[in-house]
Amino acid sequence: MLMQDSIDLALKMTTGLPTKLILKASAAHPKPEGVTFSYGTAGLRTKAAVLDSVCFRMGLIGALRSKRLQGKVVGLMVTASHNPEEDNGIKAVDSRGEMLEAAWEPFCTQLANASTDDELISVLESIIITFKIDLSIPATVVYGHDTRPSSPHLVKALVDGLVAFGTQLIDAGLKTTPQLHYLVKAHNTKGTPEAYGEPSEEGYYKKISQAYLKLVAGKPSLSPLVVDCANGVGAPALLAITKYIAADALPVRILRTSTGVQGALNNGCGADFVKTNQRLPIGLEKDGIEAGDRLCAFDGDADRLIYFYCNGPPSTKSSFRLLDGDKIASLATDYISELVKKADIDIKVGCVQTAYANGSSTKYLKQRVPVTCTPTGVKYLHHAAEAYDIGVYFEANGHGTVLFSPEAVRTIKAAQASPSSPAAQDALEQLEQLTELINQTVGDAISDMLLVEFILRARQWGPEEWDGAYEDLPNKLLKVNVKDRSAFKTTDAERRLTSPAGLQEKIDELVGKYKGARSFVRPSGTEDCVRVYAETALASDLDSLANGVAKLVQESSGST
């Protein structure tokens, strides 16, 4: 295109930009000085006190993204997940219910950091031109928030951003992150053959509870499950779903539900606390927990799930046993691939993990299905799982779900017309219900919990039997503060470093000294640090390897 032509086109595309309205609204949401924001692995996240302008600007982004997608509904979720209560953040949800297209992320960062009105407008213009956005298309955005005290204020800022573009608003109010993903997909598929469910919170509960009830029908009940809701939004959501599922179908004790208590959120409880510290939520041993009880924990926005139990007195630290995302992936993959075999259909099941997956889980899974490794972050796993007919993906930290390709769903439905045996018919029915039970837009603590509960019930397993699938290799995760984490560059799904020069060779040399060992280093996408993961066959080697690699990282970078 000639230079003049492209200038004309750019002018034409941006003439509809309501500059005055945007700047007037923006004046009420000034960017704090001296703060640099970054759209990280899962959105923007930092101290709530500095996020007002970011939320306003993400409202602008939401409107533009919806326009770009021909007016389809997109989502914005105000949450900081498992972070402390004083943090907050915002995640954007694309029209199919998945995470925002990665190409938009750098623009979110640029817009959040624009420090003058001119800069703000110029970033908006570059988004419009880059993505060829027709501003005359009306936008619709559904938005929700978690239980943080700062959330309502930040939602107001977000709405101001949306209104500046004349966006049609759908206020979802208090929601779990996966519920918001569900709503986006449900809105966009309403009235189509792919209708995902009623676009309401009630529709969400109905869809998954009906599937669960069909799946567990006739299967003897298990002992009650104890759930730690992290004092977050998972508490009201879980309470709500128990209105749709009677206690004999889902015997459950719901704990850590203090959403109104200041400072309680994710504090000494929740999935991240349990996984990182490899211990019970603080004080849980005094809640009448016994050895062998099935326990699980959500994170603050209920998109992560971790199970655990004690194989001895709960007051003894050594009795703690973790059933993390890897164990959930193994349980689900094993059960689903068995169903596919019984159903006698030509469907390929695969599993997606990250480098953090315990080596024993990868070995276990590889004996059953193909396994892919991706970089950290749901968007990478989700994408890779789409390559399989049925793709199970989980991060060790409990983020994950199962995806059924449209072709797999068609095959399952079609095969039900002429199943090869009664066993095949039963397996096909189960597979069909699983497509309804599982929230396929994103990992969902509640839906994943029901999946685990169903499988355990079908197998009549307690936590010990599930845990018996394989024994985790001893492992450790360390945080190293460095001067500049951007100096750390990785390849091979984050399993190897390409920079700083020479560091990977030193790590390799060190790892080679320990039996059955593995270690990798990556810059965090959510915190200003570098993470070191180490795994060894012998527990006695673990500290020495993890500390040794951390030392190499420090030496190579000059720690802070």
CB atoms within 10 A of CB 451: 27
Q: Catalytic residue, from 26, 81, 337, 557: name it.
A: 81
CA distance 477 to 354: 14
Task: Tell me the window of 46-54, 79-87, 411-419, 480-488 that interacts with Mg ion (CB under 5 A).
Answer: 79-87
Ligand-binding annotation for 25, yes or no, is no
Q: Are 382 and 98 in contact (CB under 8 A)?
A: yes
CA distance 112 to 91: 13
With CB under 6 A as the contact rule, the residue among 531, 532, 556, 557 that binds ligand 16G is 531
**301 sits near Mg ion (criterion: CB under 5 A):** yes
Chosen from ligand 16G, Mg ion, none, partner binding at 378 (C-beta under 5 to 8 Å by type): ligand 16G
DSSP SS3 for 312 = coil
Would residue 390 be called left, alpha or beta, if left means φ above 0 and alpha means ψ between -120 and 50 degrees?
Answer: beta
Question: For residues 373-392, which are near ligand 16G according to CB under 6 A?
Answer: 376-378
**42 sits near ligand 16G (criterion: CB under 6 A):** yes
**299 sits near Mg ion (criterion: CB under 5 A):** yes
Least distance to ligand 16G from the beta carbon of 427, Å? 31
Chosen from ligand 16G, Mg ion, none, partner binding at 526 (C-beta under 5 to 8 Å by type): ligand 16G
Task: Tell me the window of 78-86, 138-146, 272-280, 406-414 that interacts with Mg ion (CB under 5 A).
Answer: 78-86
With CB under 6 A as the contact rule, the residue among 150, 167, 360, 397 that binds ligand 16G is 397
**337 sits near Mg ion (criterion: CB under 5 A):** no
Task: State both tokens at 334.
Answer: 């094993």
Cβ neighbours of residue 417 under 8 Å, at least 6 residues apart?
none
Least distance to ligand 16G from the beta carbon of 231, Å? 19
Chosen from ligand 16G, Mg ion, none, partner binding at 228 (C-beta under 5 to 8 Å by type): none
- Say if strands 530-535 and 518-523 run parallel, antiparallel, or are unpaired: antiparallel
Cα 358 off chain centre by: 19
**547 sits near ligand 16G (criterion: CB under 6 A):** no
Task: Tell me the window of 80-88, 383-391, 498-506, 517-525 that interacts with Mg ion (CB under 5 A).
Answer: 80-88
Tracing tokens 């190579």 back to the chain, one arrives at: 556
Would residue 389 be called left, alpha or beta, if left means φ above 0 and alpha means ψ between -120 and 50 degrees?
Answer: alpha
**258 sits near ligand 16G (criterion: CB under 6 A):** no
Q: Length of the chain in residues, anyone?
A: 560
Q: Which residues of 157-195 are buried (b: 16+ CB within 10 A; e: fewer)?
A: bbbbbbebbebeebebebbbbbbbbbbbbbbbbeeeeee
Binding mask 70-109 for ligand 16G (x = CB under 6 A): -----------x----------------------------
Cα 338 off chain centre by: 26
Ligand-binding annotation for 472, yes or no, is no
Backbone angles phi, psi at 165, to 5 degrees: -100, 10
- Report DSSP state, residue 483: S
Least distance to ligand 16G from the beta carbon of 343, Å? 31
Least distance to Mg ion from the beta carbon of 205, Å? 20
Burial of 508 from C-beta contacts in 10 A (0-12 / 13-18 / 19+): exposed
Residues touching ligand 16G, count (CB under 6 A):
14
Residue with smaller CB distance to ligand 16G, 300 or 463: 300
Ligand-binding annotation for 112, yes or no, is no
Chosen from ligand 16G, Mg ion, none, partner binding at 531 (C-beta under 5 to 8 Å by type): ligand 16G
Task: Tell me the window of 29-37, 216-224, 322-330, 522-530 that interacts with ligand 16G (CB under 6 A).
Answer: 522-530
Task: Tell me the window of 166-174, 227-235, 282-290, 524-532 that interacts with ligand 16G (CB under 6 A).
Answer: 524-532
Q: Are 175 and 183 in contact (CB under 8 A)?
A: yes
Ligand-binding annotation for 151, yes or no, is no
Q: Are 287 and 273 in contact (CB under 8 A)?
A: no
Tracing tokens 């989502």 back to the chain, one arrives at: 75
Ligand-binding annotation for 444, yes or no, is no
Ligand-binding annotation for 109, yes or no, is no
**303 sits near Mg ion (criterion: CB under 5 A):** yes
Task: Tell me the window of 81-89, 96-104, 446-454, 542-550 that interacts with Mg ion (CB under 5 A).
Answer: 81-89
Beta bridge partners of 535: 475, 518
CA distance 459 to 311: 20
Cβ neighbours of residue 122 under 8 Å, at least 6 residues apart?
114
Tracing tokens 């509904």 back to the chain, one arrives at: 73
Backbone angles phi, psi at 178, to 5 degrees: -60, -30
Chosen from ligand 16G, Mg ion, none, partner binding at 301 (C-beta under 5 to 8 Å by type): Mg ion
Ligand-binding annotation for 523, yes or no, is yes
**81 sits near Mg ion (criterion: CB under 5 A):** yes
CA distance 430 to 450: 14
Q: Are 130 and 107 in contact (CB under 8 A)?
A: yes
Single-letter amino acid code for the residue at 332:
A
Residues touching Mg ion, count (CB under 5 A):
4
Least distance to ligand 16G from the beta carbon of 479, Å? 9
Least distance to ligand 16G from the beta carbon of 305, Å? 13
Active site residue 81: yes
Ligand-binding annotation for 377, yes or no, is no
Chosen from ligand 16G, Mg ion, none, partner binding at 344 (C-beta under 5 to 8 Å by type): none
Can you say which residues are annotated as belonging to the binding site for Mg(2+)? 81, 299, 301, 303
Can you say which residues are annotated as belonging to the binding site for substrate? 395-397, 522-526, 531
Q: Catalytic site residues?
A: 81
